[in-house]
Amino acid sequence: MKKLNRRKFLKLSGLAAGTSLLAACAPKNAAPASTAMPGMAMGAAPTAAPSANFAPDLEIALKATSGAAQILPGKPTNVWRYAANVVKGDPGAVVTLPETYTGPIIRAKKGQKVRVTFTNDLPAGQPSIVHWHGLIVPQAADGHPMYQIDAGKTYVYEFEVGNRAGTYWFHPHTHGKTGLQVNKGLAGLFIVSDPEQDALALPSGEFDLPLVIQDRTFDADNQFVYDVQNMSGMNHDMGSMNMNAMMQGMMGFLGDRILVNGKPDFALSASTRAYRLRLLNGSNSRIYKLAWSDGTPITVLGVDGGLLDKPISKKYVMLAPAQRAEIWLDLSGRKVGDEITLESLAFETGETGGMMMGGGSAPALGQPMRILKVKVDKQSAETLKLPDKLTALTPLQTSEAGNAAAPRQFKLTLNGMTWLINNRQFEMDKAAADEVVNLGATEIWEFSNEKNPGAMMDANGMAHPIHMHGVQFNVLSREVLPDLKPIRDTVMDGIVDEGWRDTVLVMPGEKVRVIVRFTMPGRFLYHCHNLEHEDQGMMRNFDVKPLSA
């Protein structure tokens, strides 16, 4: 893949070195991102102190802190990581992965009341807040950046686990700094179990394996490189601009190495039996097209919001940032000594700028990469069989949507170097009139990935993984512009639209409709989960308004 150098880029963009990019980059129609202090929305007070009338079944002390991890041979890598311990309840509810920065894994049961006391022990200048991705929790427990706390401060979360069994996760949601903080290592899993799932004969214990997939770049000193310049709404002096940082600020961070659970060249030493692998794409922006190297289909058990009604078999599976895929890996027919690799296959992205520029040394989005290796090295007598039925799902139906005749529209566009939703950027303390829904309403939301005629780069748009807080939804339909269909079709067979989702991949030229019921009142976020897009403002609030209000 050819990369443009700075001079070629300047020529392409019609700018001379030293020229201010202000004219080209400032969003023309975008509302400015608010710098005002966050107001209290919807009357929900932030939980600053534990409340007397909340009796937790599980109480956890969670800290975001600096440390070092032995990732590569030689010098340890400076990281930021979460550390947790159980204050009250099952001591097994927090599992710390040894010698890595990812994690911990919090294990909770549906219906449990959870209190998490979060302490920000990051360096000064790094406010933070924890978001429980995929969980449907009250506004004050959802980790909106309006609640971010400075280093040295504490924030108390209290919520009941209402979600069904599934693989959820948590990460920082700091204003403009989510990408950096996740990249430095802050991400953990929140695994929910429930009696229905416990009754299924699925692999458990060490055979039920969470695998967090991330890409990273290291410098010669084994340190993470996060070379990203936020390109929104600033006066960019091209003369002093670092091209790679600018591109990654606009397109998303891409690393040149894959880490799994924080480890390079991850190899799973496995037995001849079935495994349940819980895959999370914890990357800032990289999308994976996952396939087994020997052509074995991927058996999908579940997605973001838990199990599917029955397992489905795919040649490959697309996993966009923040998405989860639970897969069944049956090694019972294998021999000790066999090896199988999980790979990310090549696909088209439609990017006109990114394809050429990539991210410095890193493979461009859509380039093949190796994810992990499974080495069969132990014999097992276990003979678990893949169940043909997992659960009964009742997805929402179009007929239940109050706005079925006129779905709510969200246009994803590029203005200058800034990605927008309905021509707007994030505003901390505002939701527009068309971003207010009624509590209990069922609606269709349509995300439309528009072309950007005349855009300096990426006239076709980019793939955007769109995420909504405070809900799980079902995907109803996908349409694609005829001329971008060939690009979209390089991923289509790996799209899993079955089941409950909180994040949906919207490819260039696609219109994706989701159906969603709003069951939690308050102010929540929806945004692109390409973390650099999110940080530069491809995020908005929506309000779920109680009917009495």
Kindly list the residues in this chain that would bind Cu ion in the complex (CB under 5 A): 133, 464, 469, 528, 530, 533
> From ligand C2O, Cu ion, none, which one binds at residue 513 (CB under 5 to 8 Å depending on kind)?
none
From 89-97, 276-284, 451-459, 523-531, span contacting ligand C2O (CB under 6 A): 523-531
- Residue 363 C-beta: closest distance to ligand C2O, Å: 24
Kindly tell me which residue out of 81, 110, 115, 133 binds ligand C2O, with binding defined by CB under 6 A: 133
* CA separation for the pair 482, 347 (Å, rounded): 18
What's the one-letter identity of residue 130?
V
Please identify which residue in 161, 414, 487, 525 interacts with ligand C2O, judged by CB under 6 A. 525
Instruction: Quote the strand ranges of 110-245, DSSP E.
Output: 113-121, 130-133, 154-160, 166-172, 188-193, 208-216
Residue 496, CB half-sphere, CA atoms under 13 Å: how many?
Answer: 36
Residue whose CB is nearest to ligand C2O in the complex, by number? 133
Shortest Å, Cβ 175 to ligand C2O: 12
CA dist., res. 193 & res. 111, Å (int): 10
User: Cα–Cα distance between 412 and 527 in angstroms, integer?
Assistant: 10
21/279 with CB nearer ligand C2O: 279
Element (H, E) at 298: strand 298-303
Q: Is 42 helix (H, G, I), strand (E, B) or coil?
A: coil
The candidate with the shortest Cα–Cα distance to 281, out of 111, 472, 23, 503, is: 503
d(CA 223, CA 17): 31
Name the residue nearer to Cu ion (CB basis): 276 or 533.
Answer: 533
Q: Which is nearer to ligand C2O, 323 or 391 (CB)?
A: 323
Nearer of residues 321 and 363 to ligand C2O, judged by Cβ:
321
The least CB distance from residue 154 to ligand C2O, in Å, is 22
525 binds, among ligand C2O, Cu ion, none (CB under 5 to 8 A by kind): ligand C2O
Could you tell which of ligand C2O, Cu ion, none binds residue 464, using a CB distance below 5 to 8 A set by kind? Answer: Cu ion
Per-residue binder mask for ligand C2O (CB under 6 A), 246-285, x = binder: ----------------------------------------
Among ligand C2O, Cu ion, none, the one that 523 touches (CB under a kind-dependent 5 to 8 A) is none
Report the partner that residue 528 touches, choosing among ligand C2O, Cu ion, none (CB closer than 5 to 8 A by kind).
Answer: Cu ion
> Which two tokens mark 61?
């002390």
Helix, strand or coil, per DSSP, at residue 444 = strand
**Between 523 and 529, CB nearer to ligand C2O:** 529
Residues touching ligand C2O: how many (CB under 6 A)?
10
Of 153-161, 361-369, 403-411, 522-530, which segment contacts ligand C2O by CB under 6 A?
A: 522-530
Question: How big is the CA angle at 496 (ends 438 and 486), to the nearest 5 degrees?
Answer: 110
Shortest distance, position 303 Cβ to Cu ion, whole Å: 15
Burial of 201 (0-12, 13-18, 19+ CB in 10 A): exposed
Annotate 470-479 with b (16+ C-beta within 10 A) or e (fewer). bbbbbbbebe
3-state helix, strand, coil in the chain (%, to 5): 15, 40, 50
Q: Residues 33, 425: contact at Cβ < 8 Å?
A: yes
Min dist CB 131 to ligand C2O, Å, is 5
From the list 110, 467, 488, 513, which residue makes contact with ligand C2O (rule: CB under 6 A)? 467
Contact pick of 131, 273, 278, 501 for ligand C2O (by CB under 6 A): 131
Nearest-angstrom CA–CA distance, 322 and 503: 7
173 binds, among ligand C2O, Cu ion, none (CB under 5 to 8 A by kind): ligand C2O
**Residue least distant from Cu ion (Cβ):** 528
User: Among ligand C2O, Cu ion, none, what binds residue 263 when CB lies within 5 to 8 Å by partner kind?
Assistant: none
Rounded Cα–Cα distance for residues 472 and 493 (Å)? 23
- What is the C-alpha separation between 125 and 223, in angstroms, rounded? 20
Site residues for ligand C2O, window 320-349 (CB under 6 A)?
A: 322
The reply on whether position 301 binds ligand C2O by CB under 6 A is no
User: What burial class does residue 383 get, using C-beta atoms within 10 Å of its C-beta: 0-12 exposed, 13-18 middle, 19+ buried?
Assistant: exposed
x/- track of binding to ligand C2O for residues 425-464 (CB under 6 A):
----------------------------------------
The separation between CA 430 and the C-alpha centre of its own chain, rounded to angstroms, equals 23
User: What is the dihedral sign for C-alpha 449, 450, 451, 454?
Assistant: negative
Per-residue mark of binding to ligand C2O, 155-194 (x: CB under 6 A): ----------------x-x---------------------
What's the rounded Cα separation, in Å, for the pair 297 and 441?
A: 38
Q: How far is the CB of 469 from ligand C2O (least distance, A)?
A: 6
Q: Which does 527 bind (CB under 5 to 8 A by kind): ligand C2O, Cu ion, none?
A: ligand C2O
Could you list the residues that contact ligand C2O (CB under 6 A)? 131, 133, 171, 173, 322, 467, 469, 525, 527, 529
